[in-house]
Amino acid sequence: MNKREMYIEKLTGQLKEWNSQIDALIAKKEKVKADTRNEYAKQIETLNQKKETAAQRLEELKNKGEGAWEDVATGIEKIWEDLKTTLDNVKTRFK
Protein backbone atom coordinates (compact mmCIF):
# COMPACT_ATOMS: atom_id res chain seq x y z
CA MET A 1 0.00 0.00 0.00
CA ASN A 2 1.45 3.35 -1.01
CA LYS A 3 1.39 6.59 0.96
CA ARG A 4 -1.70 7.93 -0.82
CA GLU A 5 -3.71 4.75 -0.20
CA MET A 6 -2.70 4.72 3.47
CA TYR A 7 -3.73 8.35 3.83
CA ILE A 8 -7.11 7.70 2.20
CA GLU A 9 -7.67 4.69 4.44
CA LYS A 10 -6.85 6.76 7.53
CA LEU A 11 -9.24 9.56 6.50
CA THR A 12 -12.00 7.09 5.63
CA GLY A 13 -11.72 5.47 9.05
CA GLN A 14 -11.78 8.84 10.81
CA LEU A 15 -14.83 9.96 8.84
CA LYS A 16 -16.66 6.74 9.79
CA GLU A 17 -15.83 7.36 13.45
CA TRP A 18 -17.11 10.93 13.23
CA ASN A 19 -20.29 9.71 11.54
CA SER A 20 -20.89 7.43 14.52
CA GLN A 21 -20.28 10.27 16.96
CA ILE A 22 -22.61 12.60 15.08
CA ASP A 23 -25.28 9.88 14.96
CA ALA A 24 -24.95 9.52 18.74
CA LEU A 25 -25.40 13.28 19.14
CA ILE A 26 -28.50 13.19 16.94
CA ALA A 27 -29.96 10.37 19.02
CA LYS A 28 -29.31 12.41 22.15
CA LYS A 29 -31.08 15.52 20.80
CA GLU A 30 -34.42 14.79 22.49
CA LYS A 31 -32.73 14.48 25.88
CA VAL A 32 -31.31 18.00 25.67
CA LYS A 33 -33.17 20.62 27.68
CA ALA A 34 -35.91 22.32 25.70
CA ASP A 35 -34.34 25.76 26.00
CA THR A 36 -31.13 24.58 24.33
CA ARG A 37 -32.63 22.11 21.85
CA ASN A 38 -32.73 24.61 18.96
CA GLU A 39 -29.09 25.55 19.46
CA TYR A 40 -28.19 21.86 19.66
CA ALA A 41 -30.03 21.20 16.38
CA LYS A 42 -28.17 24.09 14.72
CA GLN A 43 -24.83 22.72 15.91
CA ILE A 44 -25.68 19.26 14.56
CA GLU A 45 -26.65 20.82 11.21
CA THR A 46 -23.30 22.62 11.14
CA LEU A 47 -21.55 19.32 11.89
CA ASN A 48 -23.43 17.59 9.09
CA GLN A 49 -22.49 20.32 6.62
CA LYS A 50 -18.83 20.10 7.60
CA LYS A 51 -18.99 16.30 7.40
CA GLU A 52 -20.41 16.53 3.87
CA THR A 53 -17.64 18.92 2.85
CA ALA A 54 -15.07 16.53 4.30
CA ALA A 55 -16.64 13.57 2.48
CA GLN A 56 -16.61 15.49 -0.81
CA ARG A 57 -12.96 16.39 -0.38
CA LEU A 58 -12.16 12.77 0.44
CA GLU A 59 -13.83 11.69 -2.81
CA GLU A 60 -11.85 14.35 -4.65
CA LEU A 61 -8.68 13.01 -3.06
CA LYS A 62 -9.55 9.46 -4.13
CA ASN A 63 -9.94 10.63 -7.72
CA LYS A 64 -6.63 12.49 -7.89
CA GLY A 65 -3.63 10.84 -9.41
CA GLU A 66 -0.39 10.09 -7.66
CA GLY A 67 1.16 13.45 -8.47
CA ALA A 68 -1.73 15.74 -7.57
CA TRP A 69 -3.19 14.15 -4.44
CA GLU A 70 -0.81 15.93 -2.06
CA ASP A 71 -2.22 19.32 -3.09
CA VAL A 72 -5.71 18.15 -2.10
CA ALA A 73 -4.33 16.60 1.10
CA THR A 74 -3.07 19.97 2.27
CA GLY A 75 -6.53 21.50 2.03
CA ILE A 76 -8.25 18.49 3.50
CA GLU A 77 -6.21 18.75 6.70
CA LYS A 78 -7.82 22.13 7.45
CA ILE A 79 -11.29 20.76 6.84
CA TRP A 80 -10.59 17.71 9.01
CA GLU A 81 -9.29 19.85 11.87
CA ASP A 82 -12.30 22.18 11.65
CA LEU A 83 -14.71 19.23 11.76
CA LYS A 84 -12.87 17.67 14.70
CA THR A 85 -12.84 20.94 16.65
CA THR A 86 -16.55 21.56 16.01
CA LEU A 87 -17.45 18.00 17.00
CA ASP A 88 -15.42 18.25 20.21
CA ASN A 89 -17.04 21.58 21.05
CA VAL A 90 -20.56 20.24 20.55
CA LYS A 91 -19.86 17.12 22.60
CA THR A 92 -18.42 19.23 25.42
CA ARG A 93 -21.12 21.87 25.37
CA PHE A 94 -24.07 19.51 25.34
CA LYS A 95 -22.95 16.80 27.74
- For residues 62, 66, 71, 72, the Cα torsion angle rounded to the nearest 10 degrees is 0
pLDDT higher than 90, residue 18:
yes
**34: helix, strand or coil:** helix
Tell me the average pLDDT across 30-36. Answer: 82
Residues 57 and 76: beta-carbon distance below 8 Å: yes
d(CA 29, CA 60): 32
Question: Over the stretch 60-77, which tens digit does the pLDDT of each residue have?
Answer: 888 877 777 777 788 888
Tell me the average pLDDT across 50-55. Answer: 94
Q: Transcribe 54-72 into DSSP letters.
A: HHHHHHHHHHS-TTTHHHH
Q: pLDDT-derived band of residue 93, with 50, 70 and 90 as boundaries?
A: confident
Tell me the average pLDDT across 2-25. Answer: 92
